[in-house]
Structures are given as C-alpha cells and as structure tokens.
Amino acid sequence: MLNKTVCSWWTMERITDILQCPSTLLLVLLAGLVFVNFYIKRATCRYPGGPTPLPLLGNLHQIFYCGCLIKFCEKYRRIHGDVFTFEVGGKKRVVISGYDAIKELLMDNGQHTKTRSPASRGKLLTRHYKDTPGMIYASYSSYKRLKSMLIATIKDEGHELEAKMLQELEDCMSHFIEPSLNKPVNIEQCIALATSNIINQLTIGKRFDYCNQTFITLQSSLQEYLRVTIQCGLVSSLPLSDALLGPMVSRFNHHYEHFSLPTISQLLKEVKSNMNVEGPHYVMERFLAHSQRPVEIQYPTYSEANAPYFLFQLLLGASDTTSAALRWAFLFIGSNLEVKLKVQQEIDDELGQDRLPSFNDLQHMPYVEAVLLETLRRGSIGTLSLPYTLTADCVVKGKLIPAGSDLMINFLSVLHDETVFEQPLKFKPERYLTGNIALKKQRTIPFGIEIVQLLNFKVYANICVNKVTELHLCFTKNHK
C-alpha cells in the first residue's frame, strides 16, 4: 500500500513538473488539438465508412501491413463492403469494388466520373500536369476530342497495322531470339522494345533499331517513371513527403525532365518537319495538324506545349500493357507443359508450317483465345484504376459519395470473382471453353484503367476482344 502511494505521488509530481515547462505544455496542447480536430472531421465527414485511420498517417500503416494497396483493398472490402473510404496523409479516396458497383458507378453516374485531377496523384504529378495535362488529366471536353482523334486514326490506319506488327515481330526474333537459341534471353527487354516500336509506328510513323541507344534509354526511362510514380503515389500526400521521398524524387525529376521529355520533343520536331498537312496519317501528325486550326485554339490540350506530354502518356500506357500481358503469357505457358502442347497443336493445325498468322485466325483458335483471356485475367495487368475525381454527389450500392471525392476502381475484385471464376488464383484456360462463356468474357476486364472511360462500359467487351486479337498475333507469331 505504501509503495502504491509513493509511486502515485512521484508520478503526479513528475507530471506537474513537465506541465510547468511552457514548451512542453504547448506541444501537448497542439497534439491534443490535432487529435480532436481529426476525429471531429472524421465524425462529420460524408464519406462512406472504412478502416479507422490515424492522424497524419491515415491508413498507411495498414497498407504496409497488408503488403500492397490492392491486398489492402481486398482485405477491407470483405469488412466494409464494395464501397469504402481509406485515407493517407489527410487525402481520402473511395474504393469501388465488384462488378455491380463498378457498373453502377460508370454507367448510372458516368457523366460525373469522367474527370481526373492531377492533385489526386500527389504533388509530383501536380507540378508537371497543371498546365500540360496530356490526355489523362485533360478536361472532359478536351478528352473527348482527343479520344475521337485517336479512334479515327486507328480506324483509318488500322489496315496497315497487321503487316507492321508481323514485320516488327520478325525483326525482333531475328535480333534477339535466333542468335540466342539454347541460351538465356532477356525476354522483358525484347518484348518491351518490339511493342514500343509498334506503338511508335502508329503514333509518329517511325521505328527504331534495337541497338539505338536513345530508344533503349527512352524505354528504360518510361519504366523508371512508372515505377517511381507508383512508389510515390501514396506517400506523396504525407506531411514532409518531399524530404521523405528523397532519392526517388531525384530519379523522377532526372528521367522525366532531363531525358524523356526532351527526347520526345525532338521526335515531335522531326514529325512536324516531315508532316503532310493535307493528309496527316499518324496520331501525332493529326495532333499537330489540329493544333493549327483556329477552332482548336480554345482547347489547350491541342497546343504544341501539350504534345510531348500527350505522346509520353500514349507510349507509356499502350506499350506497357501489351508487353506486360505477353510476358505473363510466356510465363504461364512455360510453367504449364500441357497448356503449351495444346497451344502448339492448335497453331499447327490452323496455320500449318508455312503461313503467317492474321487477325482473322483467332476466331478459329478457341484454345489460344482461352489462354490469352486467362492470361489477362490471372495476370491482372491493371488491378486498380488511376484516381478519378467525382464532379457531383452520387450513390453507389446505397452509399453516398460526395462531390470532389477521388475514386479508385478495384478491377481485381471482378477478375478474381469466385462466383464467376472457380478457383480464381489458378491458371485454367479451360474455364473459357465451358459453362457460361459469355459471362466470363464479359467479366474479363484487365485493362479497365483507361479503356472503360475511353468509350463506355457497354462496348468494353469489344475493346478486350481487340486487345486479345492483338496479343494473338504477337503470341502466335512467336510460337511459330
């Protein structure tokens, strides 16, 4: 009893001494105000419920504990439902999961989900895209005009794409594969360079030699940009993030400002000097031709200053998704001998030993199509969308989401839906040959990051079929 009394007296005396220090007292009061303000804001906010955040950090500690953001989203979806909110550094984001919730958001409230603010990606991208948004961060009116131009270009020039792809794959095999028979091959580099060259021909009408050091460095720079922005995306909203990010910010600035954009700007100068104004063919020729029209001056996205950012986003998005899907295909095929033998047999039966593949062959090769669909589903190329900014209040699955909210769409929840795909973590191409095949194809939305917004939700399945057709040509040619 005496020990408890002495201990209590000593504790009270120490606390009194500490509180008599003005600086300590001020620090305690500030900390108390931060906590009180944080929980008052949380109690009065209109956002859907979610895991309880900490002041300043938000839910960052829970994300790190889960290992990555997508695992965090999947874990807390099971607790809080298909619509929930998480927070990092005071920045709230609403996660939308499940096919029905995503469909309700993009179709019933589609007019309010077509804007993407650079601020949603943190201070790094806000600095670069404030005045030059490219296409991704353009206003909706400008985005529609750019989208229409892209679709028209693909429609007009698409008849030449098949021949260009076959020739590029032939060059890739002769440069990388044939000299290294029975030897290890850097499949990541050769696929990345080949797909990038195909995109280059569609956008700027030019391909690069595989030994061109500028081309190799530009491709590496694009990958570095993607890696750094993913790593910095969450923590960039934290207080003192500029100091915390350190080396990653330096790499970002170096690759983006001192090499990528200057190199792309030089390519655009070449396009402009060789451009046929009366009949532009390639994407950037059409972009630059539009920028000269008086009617387009009111749209800053068609300015020459925005051209490098627009091209940068096209090169990054289009080549990365295709090359990633092909790498997953070769990985799954290489680790499943039975699948490999069936694929090779169907290719031999349909094409023989002499004929090259074409886009039209896919409809006669159901197993190859099933393998590619399962690759896109199991590989989960785009698990989470870039954040969209909601422009008006909307209700999804009975939960109110306020205007100004940043939305993240969880496409992995659709690709791994156990009610549609039995044993979703297994690579089983046969699932696309039995059961409700139409439903399974409808729910295979691997490139939902941009393409859902490119047209609309109803025609998304057709876009996926086109992507599978493109992959089929690359994949079948490499297996010949």
- Say whether both 97 and 222 belong to one domain: no
Flag whether the pTM goes above 0.95.
no
Structure tokens belonging to residue 302: 């068609």
Looking at residue 20, what is its pLDDT? 57
For residue 14, being part of any structural domain is answered with: no
CA distance 302 to 307: 7
Using pLDDT thresholds of 50, 70 and 90, give the confidence band for residue 480: low
- Residue 390 neighbours by CB distance under 10 Å: 19
CA distance 70 to 63: 9
Residue 456 has pLDDT above 50, yes or no: no
Query: What's the one-letter identity of residue 178?
Result: E
CA distance 75 to 469: 34
- Neighbouring residues of 161: CB distance < 8 A, sequence distance ≥ 6: 198, 202
- Say whether both 227 and 309 belong to one domain: yes
Domain termination site, one of 309, 335, 361: 335
Domain termination site, one of 297, 317, 335: 335
For residue 7, being part of any structural domain is answered with: no
- Say whether both 304 and 180 belong to one domain: yes
For residue 38, being part of any structural domain is answered with: no
Range in 83-92, 153-162, 338-347, 387-396 the model is least confident about:
153-162
- Say whether both 383 and 311 belong to one domain: no
Q: What is the CA radius of gyration of the chain?
A: 26
- Say whether both 258 and 357 belong to one domain: no
Round the average pLDDT of the chain to a whole number and report it. Answer: 78
Residue 251 has pLDDT above 80, yes or no: no
Domain count, the chain: 2
Domain termination site, one of 312, 335, 358: 335
- Neighbouring residues of 431: CB distance < 8 A, sequence distance ≥ 6: 370, 374, 421, 422, 440
- Say whether both 86 and 181 belong to one domain: no
Looking at residue 464, what is its pLDDT? 41
The DSSP bridge partners found for residue 407 are 94, 388
Instruction: Give tens-digit pLDDT for 207-219.
Output: 999 999 989 888 8
- Say whether both 420 and 468 belong to one domain: yes
- Say whether both 309 and 270 belong to one domain: yes
Angle, helices 283-291/261-273, rounded to nearest 10 degrees: 80
- Say whether both 290 and 325 belong to one domain: yes
Query: What's the one-letter identity of residue 42?
Result: R
- Say whether both 174 and 314 belong to one domain: yes
Residue 460 has pLDDT above 50, yes or no: no
Instruction: State the SS3 of the chain.
Output: CHHHHHHHHHHHHHHHHHHCCHHHHHHHHHHHHHHHHHHHHHHHCCCCCCCCCECCCECHHHHHHHCCHHHHHHHHHHHHCCEEEEEECCEEEEEEECHHHHHHHHHHCHHHCCECCHHHHCHHHHHHHCCCCCCCCCCHHHHHHHHHHHHHHHHHHHHHHHHHHHHHHHHHHHHHHHHHCCCCCCHHHHHHHHHHHHHHHHHCCCCCCCCCHHHHHHHHHHHHHHHHHHHHCCHHHCCCHHHHHCHHHHHHHHHHHHHHHHHHHHHHHHHHHCCCCCCCCCHHHHHHHHHCCHHHCCCHHHCCCCHHHHHHHHHHHHHHHHHHHHHHHHHHHHCCHHHHHHHHHHHHHHHCCCCCCCHHHHHHCHHHHHHHHHHHHHHCCCCECCCEECCCCEEECCEEECCCCEEEEECHHHHCCCCCCCCCCCCCHHHHCCCCHHHHHHCCCCCCCCHHHHCCCCCHHHHHHHHHHHHHHHHHHHHC
Residue 101 has pLDDT above 90, yes or no: yes
Give the residue from 299, 298, 302, 300 showing the smallest Cα distance to 289.
Answer: 302
For residue 17, being part of any structural domain is answered with: no
Range of the domain at 341: 59-115+337-480
CA distance 83 to 97: 7
Using pLDDT thresholds of 50, 70 and 90, give the confidence band for residue 233: low
Structure tokens belonging to residue 468: 């599978």
Residue 318 has pLDDT above 70, yes or no: yes
Looking at residue 461, what is its pLDDT? 36
CA distance 151 to 459: 14
The DSSP bridge partners found for residue 372 are none
Range in 44-58, 141-155, 185-199, 292-306 the model is least confident about:
292-306
- Say whether both 267 and 356 belong to one domain: no
Looking at residue 169, what is its pLDDT? 84
Residue 396 has pLDDT above 70, yes or no: yes
For residue 203, being part of any structural domain is answered with: yes
For residue 144, being part of any structural domain is answered with: yes
CA distance 250 to 266: 23
For residue 49, being part of any structural domain is answered with: no
CATH number at 169 reads: 1.10.630.10
CA distance 361 to 358: 6
Pairing of strands 394-396, 83-88: unpaired
Instruction: Give tens-digit pLDDT for 342-395.
Output: 988 888 888 887 787 877 787 888 998 899 889 989 988 778 887 888 889 999
- Say whether both 149 and 288 belong to one domain: yes
What number of residues does the chain have?
480
For residue 9, being part of any structural domain is answered with: no
